[in-house]
Structure formats: C-alpha cells, structure tokens
Amino acid sequence: MRLDYFKLTLVLVLAMTGTAYAFPPIEVADGKLLRITYEGQFGISYRDTGSGHDSDEDTYEFNFNRNRIGFIGTYNEWLGFYLQTEYIEQKTINILSVDPSDSSRNFYVSDAYVRFMPYAFFNVFAGKLKHNLTRENLESCFESLTIDRSVFVSIPYKTSRDMGVAVWGNFLNNKLQYRVDAMDGHADSIYDPSPASTFRYTIRLQGSFLNPEKNYGLAGTYLGVKDVLTIGAAYQYESKAVYGDIRSKDKVKDYSAYSFDLFYEQTFKDIGTFTFSAAYLDISFDDAHTFADPGVGSYGLNGQKHGYYLKVGYLLPMDIGPGTLQVFARYDDFTFANLNNVVTNTDFYDQDVKRTAFGMNYYLFKQDLKLTAEYSLTDFNNEDSNDPNYKDFSSFDLFLQVRF
C-alpha cells in the first residue's frame, strides 16, 4: 500500500481554520507581568514498516509532536521566570521503532526556571532548563529549519533538559558568548545505579561574525530577518557516571562529550534566503558497553556515539499564495557504540545509521502558523533480520504548527 501524499496534505490544510494571535501580557500587580502562551504541533506520520503480523506493513498515526502551555513572568527588567508544561500521547512511531502496544499518556513540566539577568555579560538561569552541549538542543523546536531537531543528538539520561544552574553572557558587542552549566546528570536508580553522586558540567563558547545571536535560545532559521554566521564549540563532563559491570559494581567509567557547530543564514536581494547548518558530536563512556553488564545509559540511541549532521534551506523571496515557501534538506550520519542493546553480539558494535530528509515549510504567519512536510530515508549499516525496528525504512511527516 503506497502513501497518498495528496490526501495527507489535504487533511492538514483543512485543519487550518484559525489565525494565530499572541495573548497580551497580564499585569498581575505593581508592574509585574505574566504572559500565557500555547504552542502546538499536530499532524500525521507514516512509516513503511512496523504494522501487520510480521511488522512489515505500513504504519500511520495522528499525534502531537508537541503540545505545550507556557507561563512567562516578569518581576522587573532583570528578574523573571519561565514555566512550560507538556501533554502528549505516547507515540506509536518513534525515532527508530514502531510500538503500537504503548498507549500511555504523559503530562509533565518540561521547563521551570528563574531568570536573573542584571548585565549583558552575566546572567543566571536556575531550575529545569536546557543543557548547552549542542546547538540543536538550544534551537527552539518551534523555529526549526527542518520538521524537528536531528533525531540523533540527544544526550544520555537527561536528553534535553536537566535540573541545574547555567551562567552565561555576551562580550564584544554580543559577538562573543559564553555558557557554563552544572546539572544533575545521571540520577541513581535501582536498574542503572550511579557509582557516585556527581554533577554534569558543560562549557560552551560561540562567536558571531555577522548579526549576533545573543539570547540563550537560538533558532534554526531567522526567515531572512537577519544575516547570521555563528561558530560554536562545547564540552561536557561527568565523573564516575556509570558502571561497566553493574552486577559486580566494577569498571567505573566517566562520561565526556564534545561538539562543534556552524550556522550560516544570509539573504540576497531578489534571490532569497539561504541557510546552512552543520555540527559534529562525540559522546563517550570509555567503552563501558563492551563489559559484561554495563549501565544501560552508556549504550543505545543516546549512549556512546559520534557523528554529524548537515542542513540546508532556501526561502523564496516572494510569497506563494497567502504564505512564504521554504525548502530544506538534511543529512545525519551517526555511529553508535551499540544501538540495539545486544551487548553480547559484536556484530552490532559500531552500528552506523544514516538519515536523509527533504521537505518544505509553508509559513502563513511566520512561525506562528506554518505547515511542514518532510520525507526521510533511514539506512542501517548492519540490519537485524530478527528485529523489524532495525531494518531500513522510509517515513513521511506532515505537521501543522500553531503558536499563540
């Protein structure tokens, strides 16, 4: 059964019945302001595997990619807070797998932190917030060039957010930015005990050579509003993070990771806006996965790995109908120390996965109302004939984004 792309597109277009408006801030007392926001991404996903008796039939799913209500509080010009909640149904179609049996629902707080910003060169965020290892994690998921961030850049245990403190600021007219954070990292558990209670530390530096990117949050595209050329590098470390052998409480291993990234976007008059982004990421547990009973966070999708991604985009200089069209492509190539958790099978050490994707964004009200379509191909260097989740597959996603 082949996917009817036209029908999928029509379903989402018919869903666009409203216009996005920003809710004005509410003055709660003595000049203190509170703004309430809603951000959602709803759509349909398709994969050419995962269903049927042998898990080799097509799979379709409606779901939210994100579904959030946020609260932004401002006490004065340098003190405030940010709180964001998330409600989402468990997805059948996941990054590398299809799991129709999981029907759980999740409601949780994704972000909750106090913002202390007295100077351009010194700011403090404290609470649950994003780590600073990768640019992809710092880019807003609602201002992404592609349908989402790279599916392979999540880090171990606390994949995107963690509890901790981040100190950051800008120098040289906002051309140079530093970030330093200390966060919980691997929390002890009965199934994956931590050898010691230690913090995870990150340092990031980035330089902007055109218009500066001076905020804590970044974007995957600025839609031609400003020309940007930013180069960044980061290092992350946690001592005594995992056991190589949980059963004997032996082979204690540290965690370390580093990343390099480049982001370039420039508008040329009457030609359009071009975007290019690339990054390299290396995560290591000092080969903990090669021992008898390693900590489960040291291997798998978010465990020891290295790889890179490339992204390109082109925003047309004129409107197409009521909106603006942007086309994009991306390529991810990551090697996982052990991807499918078969730690006794050396054939699956150094599993290389490549993902190629093409798509388009159609902006009706910039990022507040847009339609994104993406087609992707995922290729495994070592396919597992006994596991349908580790065979090559293709996917198609169509999502409507709304922000109020």
- Please give the single-letter amino acid code of residue 165: V
**Mean pLDDT of successive 10-residue stretches along the chain, which has 404 residues:** 43 38 69 90 92 85 93 91 91 85 79 94 96 96 93 91 97 96 90 90 97 95 96 97 90 96 96 97 94 88 95 96 96 90 56 95 94 96 76 94 93
pTM, to two decimals: 0.89
| pLDDT reported for residue 103 | 65
| pLDDT reported for residue 25 | 78
| pLDDT reported for residue 192 | 86
Q: Can you tell me the distance from the alpha carbon of 301 to that of 350, in angstroms, rounded to the nearest whole number?
A: 12
pLDDT in tens, 102-123: 666 788 999 999 999 999 999 9
Q: Can you tell me the distance from the alpha carbon of 189 to that of 198, in angstroms, rounded to the nearest whole number?
A: 14
The CATH number assigned to the domain holding 11 equals 2.40.160.10
* Structural domain harbouring 109: 5-403
| pLDDT reported for residue 383 | 79
Structural domain count, the chain: 1
Rg over alpha carbons for the chain, rounded to the nearest Å, is: 22
Q: What does the block give as tokens for 24?
A: 């004005």
pLDDT in tens, 206-238: 999 999 999 999 999 999 999 999 999 999 999
| pLDDT reported for residue 344 | 43
| pLDDT reported for residue 98 | 87
Per-residue buried b or exposed e for 128-143, using 16+ beta carbons within 10 Å of the residue's own CB? bbbbbbbbbbbbebbb
Which residue, among 50, 54, 42, has the nearest Cα to 13 in the 3D structure?
A: 42
